[in-house]
Amino acid sequence: MKQLFFLFLFTSTILLAQEKNCGSNLRLNKYYKTNPEAKKIRSTLEEKTTKFQIQKEINTTIPVVVHVVYKNGNENISNAQIQSQLDVLNKDFTRTNTDAFNTPADFLPVVSNTQINFCLAQQSPKGNPTNGIIRKQTTTNSFPLFGNAIYYDSLGGSTAWNTQKYLNIWVAEIENGILGWAQFPAAGDTNTDGVVIDFEHFGTIGTAIYPYDLGRTATHEVGHWFNLYHIWGDNSCGNDYVNDTPIQEQGNFGCKIHPHISCNNSGDMFMNFMDYTNDACMNSFTEGQKDRIWSSISNWRTGLLTSNGCVPTTIPNSDAGIISIIEPNNQNSNCASPIYPKVVLKNYGLTNLNTVTIEYNINNNNSTYYSWNGDLETNEQDTILLSALSSTGTSHLLNVSTQNPNNSTDINPSNDKETKIFSSISGEQVQLNIMTDNYALETSWILLDQNNNTIDSGDSLTNNTLYQNNYCLAYECYKFVINDSHGDGFCCNFGNGNFSVTSSIVNNQYVQNVPFTFTDTSYFCLGNTILTEKNESFKIHPNPTNGNLWINADLTHNNNTPIFARILNNLGQSVLSTKIVNNKIDLSHLNNGVYQILIETETKQYIHKIIIQK
């Protein structure tokens, strides 16, 4: 059996890359098969596009309505996460993104400000006030690429607002690792015309997960909605119908170094928003792409230019309030983090209530804001599941209140607020995810606390099945062990097996899939806890260090098996795996800070704190 030893260091998060998977062209090709006449319409549009010349002084702001379609509180993303995505769209489409300076010098003459901005809609199609966020709870676990249920209230989704006047974006859990998709102009039903994004790849905070956690999935898909193709034309050395983007062989993944040459070009434009690179490596559109975007607006999406969706409107003499807090309650034992409040909203006013902002917090700490939209008549009520709050301890005071009903001043603030005292279990809820491969009976796992007491375990698993278990864990350190009796882990061509332990409230991934043979052990800690030292014979120097670290311990093995270092933060998040050479590790690329080192073999375990100070 091949033996591997691991060294663990604690610092910031880097997760194993999931390859980007965009479904826009797949949906387009399927639409062509069932609607062959669409190719002719698209061909006519393409002819107009090639002849189009933009008037350089044109600017426009496009109203956006975000449909949050959620089954649970984790998928019901916050206002702040939605706003973070709007901020990214505005920066990316006007080339005010802070990473624009990363564009290589030879591409600078062609990169572009598209002169397009976006707003969360301020006015509904009926002229009522709104904040541009529609929330619909569903019983659907996830939505498939080739289904349309997400677009209709009656099918468990959310019905689009006028797609000629608004950019509709649906945020939900998408099946099979698809990050998102968009409908190209003239390539589908008007009711499905918009963009769909997986909730874990929308915005820059909350549920957004590396490496697609900087909002560029939406930038990419909105590009498709504006008639932009993938930069490689979805063919080897294909055509994206843009003159100033270089021909390239295929989509690029991860982060490349310029020049990355293919198809006899001078370097792929892998930093283009229409490639497949990680979010942190994308930064630009081109002038040619700008022309295509504006051609799609001028020749197909003309209603955007006359939309009133970004014009605020108010209804005076409005009155709304929270009349009760259903959850949390003292009948069910909840984990202290996260808490998902469920409240009842009432329209006390004499006019219909279309929008209101709900402010809520625990123990008067930092408030969270939630946008509600709907149509409540006088004295009508609505039960609302709010986005998650984080807390610590066991005794809490929940405060919930309303403000700005119908974008106006509430005429009776005395009925706005409700409070509730409740208790909880001290700890954080985490989710263990295991996706088995084609040989699940070879796999077993065990979750242990810091005293090696078993929390849970599993074996006799089913092939190609996703197992998801939730635990409320105290603020201490844990160990997750996964085994493969055949010694080939989740590797090779035996399915898409993977495992992870993630936070239920923020985008922390404490444990992630790594290559292994017979077994792999991952350590993680919750809260501010850290692994304690267990063997003082393990010495390191210098400490503090400027990055070059020497380890004074016997790290040799009689079969010369290499020893690998794994980097984690103080929450146990893995960020790097690297080999130790001659008892030395180069940490010069890490930021200043406090770290811990753990090295574990079959017979010894060493743990030590270090400080990097450059």
- Least confident span in 117-126, 239-248, 510-519: 510-519
Average pLDDT value for the chain = 86
Look up the CATH number of domain 24-230+286-306.
Answer: 3.40.390.10
Structure letter (DSSP) for residue 57: T
Sign of CA dihedral 224, 229, 232, 236: positive
Model confidence at 396: pLDDT above 60: yes
pLDDT of residue 591: 72
Give the span between the Cα atoms of 494 and 515, in whole angstroms.
Answer: 13
- Burial readout 123-150 (b: 16 or more C-beta within 10 A, e: otherwise): bbbeebbbbbbbbbbbebebbebeeeeb
pLDDT of residue 390: 85
Residue with tokens 């080739």: 146
Token reading at 582: 């001659």
Mention every residue, 6+ apart, whose C-beta is less than 8 A from residue 184: 24, 28, 42, 224, 225, 227
CA count, 13 A, side-chain hemisphere, 466: 9
pLDDT of residue 337: 87
Neighbours of 335 (CB within 10 A): 21
Q: Where are the domains of the chain?
A: 5-14+427-612, 24-230+286-306, 320-423
pLDDT of residue 609: 64
Residue 595: pLDDT band (50, 70, 90) is low
Among residues 75, 221, 428, 600, which one is catalytic?
221
pLDDT of residue 488: 81
Give the span between the Cα atoms of 160 and 66, in whole angstroms.
Answer: 10
SS3 content of the chain, % helix, strand, coil (to 5): 15, 35, 50
* Cβ(511)–Cβ(520) below 8 Å: no
- Least confident span in 47-61, 397-411, 534-548, 554-568: 554-568
Model confidence at 444: pLDDT above 60: yes
Model confidence at 7: pLDDT above 50: no
Q: What is the mean pLDDT of residues 25-42?
A: 92
CA angle 554, 555, 558 (to 5 degrees): 100
Model confidence at 323: pLDDT above 70: yes
Element (H, E) at 42: helix 37-51
Give the span between the Cα atoms of 76 and 323, in whole angstroms.
Answer: 22
Q: What is the mean pLDDT of residues 50-78?
A: 87
Model confidence at 17: pLDDT above 80: no
Active site residue 249: no
Neighbours of 482 (CB within 10 A): 24
φ/ψ bin of 533: left (φ > 0), alpha (ψ from -120 to 50), beta (otherwise): beta
- Angle at which helix 216-225 crosses helix 79-93, to 10 degrees, equals 60
The single-letter code of the amino acid at 9 is: L
pLDDT of residue 496: 74
Q: What is the mean pLDDT of residues 428-439?
A: 89
The per-residue pLDDT for range 182-197, each reduced to its tens digit, is 999 999 999 999 999 9
Model confidence at 533: pLDDT above 50: no
Give the right CATH number for 320-423 from 2.60.40.10, 1.10.10.10, 3.40.630.90, 3.40.630.30. 2.60.40.10
Same fold, 24-230+286-306 and 320-423: no
Model confidence at 279: pLDDT above 80: yes
The per-residue pLDDT for range 354-374, each reduced to its tens digit, is 999 999 999 999 999 999 999
Q: E strands, 404-453, where?
A: 417-423, 425-435, 443-449
